[in-house]
A and B are shown apart, each in its own frame.
Chain A
């Protein structure tokens, strides 16, 4: 509609078979990308090809298929490294997702280090997966969880962050882009402030990597976590980036095969990075699918995707604001990818059912961020979240469907 003239959304859509589907006789309008995105044929084919002609267990086999699969798996790691600009391959750990990655840091990094009186600093806009692992480790160690409040607009209160960051803080764990509000947090500022006090920072990048180019070295973050399934890749695969120095000092998270060099009943020698943290047979197809997804995203170009989605966000915000009785939750100056909203007269759950009848898939509920709901004194929101393949026409369908919903409940 504006600066995205060269952006060929039609040919992108043609790469995603599911987008041609009809729901209740209406063309699917998929606006639930923050929960999970869809898959281009390139990802589906990579997985299909693996299972049809290249599959075997990895790392231990001398036979050809095992070597091929190992290469494909490690190529995927190389793709991830390039994508986030990690310094080296072994700083990229495959996990089962963001949740798994955060738990790994909580148990392997924080738990051995934390003592009574220490603090972990998170924010009020975290996903449950960046709250509960810290509550668990606090319970285990006697450390305390501190929470940076958020403003009515949905921005972090940075002066409160500065106050809460203290010599007791042992780790800051913060979401890059909020899945409930869309706010993009000033993580570079946060990382610099924390480092000035010698405090490492974990960034929950589940919602950022699909929308914002991320360079972990430029950010200088200590850990960065994300999931494949929000990045047009498969479920059950995710990434923990960690600085080599920190990862080397950490004990393994899980014990088993692959994470060892040698095992005897007298003692076991752990494998080197990244294998020390990849116990057991990993999600081979998942990693390869993620590698293919990253290649696809890079082919389109994350900057181009970001610009397109920003256009969608602005257009959707403008359209939805014109609807009487609709209130947008989360109006941070810096936002990415999604609009959370409530209606005066219709509960989000009913909005979800009504929109579904029009083929429009959105998410309703607390979005695994109950503290955010409590902060704005609402039980739930309806959330439309955008991906690289969404169009301005789809926003029109969304707006019209909301209008109809309000009409029916009037």
Chain B
């Protein structure tokens, strides 16, 4: 069990116990619901975008430690990013968890790196990426809405 410390690092356990930006937003610009039917993880992501920049992002729902910590860390990482930067960060993060080759572009993961250990637990990758996929869906919906306006 001790070697699981690679997976469940202190930072992850801390974010799981005290998730940041864990709140529902009453009037978000963007919103999406994500499900991981395999394990019952469910997450809602709320998004406020001002002038193409992620001004606020929050989540609520119910998930395992990997899912909750990843969502919590995601909200911190995304704040202040432009939409393009946010999407690039999602790509880079997703790449780090699913591919052996390094990500071709220079998009540093920063603190998100502690989640890279999940790569060695293939059944748990979906847990770590659920919040990001949900964020991506919320952003796409928002962009879709704007472009049709």
Chain A residues in contact with chain B, CB under 8 A? 24, 346-350, 353-354, 357-358, 364-366, 373, 379-380, 401, 404-405, 408-409
- State whether A353 and B121 are in contact (beta carbons under 8 Å apart), knowing that A379-B62, A408-B8, A409-B65 are contacts in the complex: yes
Across-interface contacts of B67 in A (CB, < 8 A): 347, 349
Q: Which of these, B4, B17, B65, B68, contacts A357 with CB under 8 Å? A: B4
- A357, B121: Cβ atoms closer than 8 Å: no
> Is B148 on the interface with A (CB-CB < 8 A)?
no
The interface-forming segment of B19-27, B37-45, B87-95, B139-147 is B37-45
Number of A-B contacts (CB under 8 A): 59
Q: Which of these, A364, A401, A405, contacts B39 with CB under 8 Å? A: A364
- State whether A354 and B4 are in contact (beta carbons under 8 Å apart), knowing that A347-B63, A347-B65, A409-B13 are contacts in the complex: yes
- B4, A353: Cβ atoms closer than 8 Å: yes
- A380, B40: Cβ atoms closer than 8 Å: yes
Across-interface contacts of B65 in A (CB, < 8 A): 346-347, 350, 409
Q: List 29 A-B contacts (CB under 8 A).
A: A346-B65, A347-B63, A347-B65, A347-B67, A349-B39, A349-B64, A349-B67, A350-B8, A353-B4, A353-B7, A354-B1, A357-B3, A357-B4, A358-B1, A364-B39, A365-B38, A373-B40, A379-B39, A379-B40, A379-B41, A379-B63, A380-B39, A380-B40, A401-B1, A405-B1, A408-B4, A408-B13, A409-B16, A409-B17
- A365, B39: Cβ atoms closer than 8 Å: yes
Chain B residues in contact with chain A, CB under 8 A? 1, 3-4, 7-8, 13, 16-17, 38-42, 62-68, 121, 124, 127
- Name the 3 nearest CB pairs between A and B, nearest first: A349-B64, A379-B40, A347-B64
- B1, A408: Cβ atoms closer than 8 Å: yes
Beyond the given A353-B7, A380-B39, A409-B16, could you list 7 further A-B residue pairs with CB under 8 A, ordered by the A residue number?
Answer: A347-B65, A349-B41, A357-B3, A379-B41, A379-B42, A408-B13, A409-B17
Nearest chain B CB to A179 CB, angstrom units: 16
Q: Chain B residue with minimal CB distance to A380?
A: B40
Q: Which of these, A349, A404, A409, contacts B127 with CB under 8 Å? A: A349
Q: Chain B residue with minimal CB distance to A365?
A: B39
Compute how far the CA of A349 lies from the CA of B7 in the bound complex, rounded to whole angstroms: 13
Q: Which of these, A350, A404, A405, contacts B64 with CB under 8 Å? A: A350
Compute how far the CA of A26 lies from the CA of B79 in the bound complex, rounded to whole angstroms: 44
- State whether A366 and B1 are in contact (beta carbons under 8 Å apart), knowing that A346-B65, A347-B63, A350-B66 are contacts in the complex: no
Nearest chain A CB to B121 CB, angstrom units: 7
- B13, A348: Cβ atoms closer than 8 Å: no
Across-interface contacts of A401 in B (CB, < 8 A): 1
- State whether A404 and B40 are in contact (beta carbons under 8 Å apart), knowing that A349-B127, A350-B66, A379-B62 are contacts in the complex: no
Across-interface contacts of A357 in B (CB, < 8 A): 1, 3-4
Across-interface contacts of B3 in A (CB, < 8 A): 24, 357
Nearest chain A CB to B114 CB, angstrom units: 16
Across-interface contacts of A379 in B (CB, < 8 A): 39-42, 62-63
Across-interface contacts of A364 in B (CB, < 8 A): 39
Compute how far the CA of A26 lies from the CA of B42 in the bound complex, rounded to whole angstroms: 33
- Which of A350, A373, A379 has the most chain B CB atoms closer than 10 A to its own CB? A350
- A348, B1: Cβ atoms closer than 8 Å: no
Q: Chain B residue with minimal CB distance to A404?
A: B1
Nearest chain B CB to A269 CB, angstrom units: 45
Q: Chain A residue with minimal CB distance to B63?
A: A347
Across-interface contacts of A365 in B (CB, < 8 A): 38-40
Across-interface contacts of A349 in B (CB, < 8 A): 39-41, 63-64, 66-67, 124, 127
Across-interface contacts of B16 in A (CB, < 8 A): 409
Compute how far the CA of A153 lies from the CA of B32 in the bound complex, rounded to whole angstroms: 35
Compute how far the CA of A48 lies from the CA of B42 in the bound complex, rounded to whole angstroms: 45
Across-interface contacts of A350 in B (CB, < 8 A): 8, 64-66
Nearest chain B CB to A68 CB, angstrom units: 43
